[in-house]
Amino acid sequence: MSKKKIVDNSKCTIYCYDLEKRKQSKAIPIKSVCYEKNLYEVLDNNGNVVLQNYIEKVFGKLEAEFSKYRNMLERKAFLPENYSSHMFLKHEEKAFWATYITLQLL
């Protein structure tokens, strides 16, 4: 039986290289990349919400599903008994990944 390796997400960082400054940045947490709270809210000139975050809420639900399916994939992908398997994903999992990849391409 294989043990799942626990990863400390606070230590998961990335670097970028600034081409103009010709310098590498400091390490930043991956979870902070491409993140902005209330990105899809529409505000009036006074800062009042005119249109709520419906798009962000839908993306949040999709991200929750992605997290669930990613965890299922990680648990299966690193099992030695699945290395020689032709296909270890269930039909439902394959359908999810096909849909998710299509949405990412769009």
pLDDT tens per residue, range 22-52: 888 778 787 777 777 777 778 889 988 887 7
CA distance linking residue 78 with residue 7, whole number of Å: 15
What pTM, to 2 d.p., does this model score? 0.49
Query: Is residue 1 in a domain?
Result: no
Query: Is residue 5 in a domain?
Result: no
Q: Which of 67, 89, 82, 79 is nearest to 3 (CA)?
A: 79
Is 82:90 a contact under the CB 8 Å cutoff? no
Surface-to-core class of residue 35, CB atoms within 10 Å of its CB (0-12 exposed, 13-18 middle, 19+ buried): exposed
Query: Is residue 51 in a domain?
Result: yes
Write out the residue range of the structural domain in which residue 24 sits: 10-105
Record the tokens describing residue 75, joined without a space. Answer: 């648990």
* CA dihedral over 37, 38, 43, 47, signed as positive or negative: negative
Query: Is residue 2 in a domain?
Result: no
Query: Is residue 92 in a domain?
Result: yes
Q: Domain tally for the chain?
A: 1
Query: Is residue 36 in a domain?
Result: yes
Query: Is residue 4 in a domain?
Result: no
Virtual torsion, Cα 36, 39, 97, 64, nearest 10 deg: 70
Confidence of residue 75 (pLDDT cuts 50, 70, 90): confident
